[in-house]
Structure 1
Amino acid sequence: MRFLFAALTLALAAGSCSREPRTELFNGRDLAGWVCVTDPEGVGDARDAFSVQNGNIRIAGSPFGYMRTEETYDDYRLHVEWRWIGEATNSGIFQRVQAGDRLWPEAVECQLQAGRAGDLLGLGGAKIAGAESNGRVFIKPRSGGECERPAGEWNCAEIVCVGDHIAVCVNGVLQNECTGSVRSGYIALQSEGGPVEFRNIWLTRLRRGI
């Protein structure tokens, strides 16, 4: 398993493609296939936070919450592109999101916060190896250094999940790896901070043992 994951991580950093077909998670028109979750005590509703504009997902940043896939996934390579609208602020891509639609779900977050893209966070009690608690969540800082693009320009995240292993590459730079305890779950995009857009969201399913 560790040999397989190391090979997948190298493929991730090199940008090589799998022969498996893509599963498109966003159709460019609407939010079909997604479930929106927002703070019940926040101002506004999900329609204020999540929309599609000019073929991109637009997340307002307020009210706080996330949009998750209707389906759960186990082993995959995920591709997501994002850019800030105006000031670069905060958002995230959640892996292994567990059922319950809590405001802070049990999940592993790939941090997109400006200046910290590639950090890994254990949310809702999720524990990841090598992370330290800040009193609220567990954080494993990125190790690849600065690679983010200025506000208004598109960034790319590639995330590989195999078993309990997760690896994150941002704009072609391998930023982080971790192991956890959960091997499947939903995928989610976060509303937190300010406006952000997402596009070209797809995954390639991976088969262990190949």
Structure 2
Amino acid sequence: MRNFLYAVFSIGLTTFCFFQCTKPSNAPIPLFNGTNLDGWHMDVPDLEADSSLRIPFIIRDGLLVSLGTPEGHLITDQEYGDYTLELDYRFAGEPGNCGILVHASEPRALYEMFPKSIEVQLMHSNAGDFWCIQQDIKVEEMESRRGPKEDWGVSEGKERRIVNLTDDSEKPLGEWNHIKIRCFNDTITVWLNGDLVNEGFGATATRGQVALQAEGAEVEFKNIFLTEIN
């Protein structure tokens, strides 16, 4: 009897370990369904002041489009901690400015426009830069990439830009770019079209919302997926 019970226990333990050790990793969460903006909300100061202005975030041909103006942000309803965010983007017309904000929290914390966050820049020819928006992050070779230390800061008038690592990772205008942002603990790592373009550590925020910008230029987005890291 003792041997029989031991055998049953061993089989059960083996089965448990098999399913635990082989269970799939977290499935990607689609943040955009291609039809509407469910799961997102807008913060657009000028639109709030004048409801006759156009809505700057729309759905067009199954794409999420930032029209660029009036300026503001499209923000996820939910907050996220450790995760990988991937999406495709392209400038639909003239190149210009836009960005992805991670660990976003307090709205309109900078220039009465930008939520407290760390921005991953999408601006044409500068994609992958970090911008510190009332939150901070460090990188290797900090002074060569951010400027004199005495000028660093996270508020108005301070040196908030941290230059990326490459100058030639963007696709030609009109083509789709793929960006991957990994937020884990206090580290943020960014790949653009497969190239490592930035990595920061010691981030002062490790959780928050994700936001897309309307900042002057029309940008199209698709395939927006977030995968949580256990």
TM surpasses 0.5: yes
Deviation at 1:161, TM superposition (A): 0.2
Note the alpha carbon deviations across 1:144-202, whole angstroms, 9 max, x for none: 33111122111010000011110000011000011211110000111002111000001
Query: Tell me, which stretches of 5 or more residues in structure 1 are unaligned?
Result: 1-17
Counterpart secondary structure, 2:55:
helix
Alignment partner, residue 185 of structure 1: 208
Deviation at 1:77, TM superposition (A): 0.6
Structure 1 window deviating more from structure 2 (44-53 vs 31-40): it is 44-53
Task: Tell me whether 1:66 sits opposite 2:67 in the alignment.
Answer: no
Task: Tell me whether 1:147 sits opposite 2:169 in the alignment.
Answer: yes
Q: Which amino acid aligns with 1:32?
A: D
Counterpart secondary structure, 1:48:
coil
Alignment partner, residue 120 of structure 2: 110
What TM-score, normalized to structure 1? 0.83
Alignment partner, residue 52 of structure 1: 59
Change in CA separation of 1:170 and 1:90 when aligned onto 2, cut-off 3 Å? same
Within 2, Cα distance between the matches of 1:137 and 1:26?
33
Bigger Cα Rg: 2
Equivalenced residue count is: 189
Counterpart secondary structure, 1:40:
helix
Contact 1:36 1:46 in 2 (8 A): no
Instruction: Identify the structure with the greater strand proportion.
Output: 1
Alignment partner, residue 201 of structure 1: 224
Query: Tell me, which stretches of 5 or more residues in structure 2 are unaligned?
Result: 1-23, 147-151
Structure 1 window deviating more from structure 2 (153-162 vs 140-149): it is 140-149
Ranges of 4+ aligned residues in structure 1 off by more than 6 Å: 41-46
What TM-score, normalized to structure 2? 0.76
Instruction: Identify the structure with the greater helix proportion.
Output: 2
Counterpart mapping for 1:1-210 below 5 A: 19-40=25-46, 47-100=54-107, 102=109, 103-123=113-133, 125-130=134-139, 132=146, 133=152, 135-136=157-158, 138-179=160-201, 180-207=203-230
